[in-house]
Amino acid sequence: MSEQSYKLSVLIPVFNEASTIEHVIERVRAVPVETEIILVDDCSTDGTTEVLRKLAVEQPDLVIRFHQVNRGKGAGIRTALAEATGDLVIVQDADLEYDPSEYPKLLGPIEDGVADVVYGSRFLGGPHRVLFFWHQVGNQLLTLLSNLMTNLNLSDMETGYKIFRTPLLKAMRLTSDRFGFEPEVTARVAQMHLRVYEVPISYWGRDYGEGKKITWKDGIAAFWHIFKFNVLDRMPAPRRRAEGEQD
């Protein structure tokens, strides 16, 4: 692995996670990687806003922004991305389903110089909490449809763990406000012809009694987002530089 070091911007969209957000920040800080933590509160109603205002005083290196109305995960990611100054970007959910200790594993293909984007797949053999059969079937169907549209061979398009080179993510046209972010960003990755790797990750999924927010309606919407961003709203492919052309 390359000895080059990276600054990682960790984007954390937050909605009603008062019971977990401090633990997530602690876990991110424990990772042996230089990190910049950017949180966006999406107009929480459970006390999360107050927790973040307290943390802003106690930990002034945190970058914290607040939405005045609830806009969704995708909008929170865009707000956080505008603040990112790191070489690389990862989205970290504010619950405890994904483990920040796996950042170094995700960084590996980028540090080795073979990837622009790395997806952490929940379906490549990592440990995971056993939950809902139909959720897995739905994820596999969405990944299959996305792969048909993008010509990528991903195993987990909907994974919440994706690391990007920051300039590339900032160059994407991203518009989804809610859970359409995953199919949209995957469509952009394909349209920009980026180098993509997958690595296995663990997954500690929550059930709805523990605060899981995505529902079957979001799954149905994802089918529309896959079609929209691969057919109706494509980004132009990047222009390839001619041989000998100067910047």
Looking from the CA of 193 toward its CB, the CA atoms found within 13 Å total 5
Mean local confidence (pLDDT), 24-39: 96
Per-residue pLDDT reduced to its tens digit, 148-195 = 999 999 999 999 899 999 999 999 999 988 878 999 999 999 999 999
pLDDT-derived band at 72 (thresholds 50, 70, 90) equals very high
| Distance (Å, whole) CA 141 – CA 137 | 6
pLDDT-derived band at 232 (thresholds 50, 70, 90) equals confident
pLDDT at 243 over 60: no
**pLDDT of amino acid 244:** 47
Closest CA to 169 of 64, 35, 77: 77
Per-residue pLDDT reduced to its tens digit, 168-177 = 999 999 998 8
Secondary structure class of 84 (helix, strand, coil): coil
DSSP state at residue 192:
T
**pLDDT of amino acid 96:** 83
| Distance (Å, whole) CA 148 – CA 230 | 10
pLDDT at 107 over 90: yes
**pLDDT of amino acid 217:** 74
Region of 16 (left: φ > 0; alpha: ψ -120 to 50; beta: rest) is left
Mean local confidence (pLDDT), 1-22: 86
| Distance (Å, whole) CA 131 – CA 210 | 12
Domains and CATH numbers, the chain: 7-232 (3.90.550.10)
**pLDDT of amino acid 210:** 44
**pLDDT of amino acid 79:** 97
Name the more confident of 127 and 89: 89
Question: Per DSSP, what are the bridge partners of residue 163?
Answer: 90, 118
Sequence letter at residue 14: V
Mean local confidence (pLDDT), 5-14: 94
Mean pLDDT of the chain: 87
pLDDT at 2 over 90: no
pLDDT at 213 over 80: no
Strands 88-91 and 162-165, sheet pairing:
antiparallel
pLDDT at 206 over 60: no
**pLDDT of amino acid 178:** 81
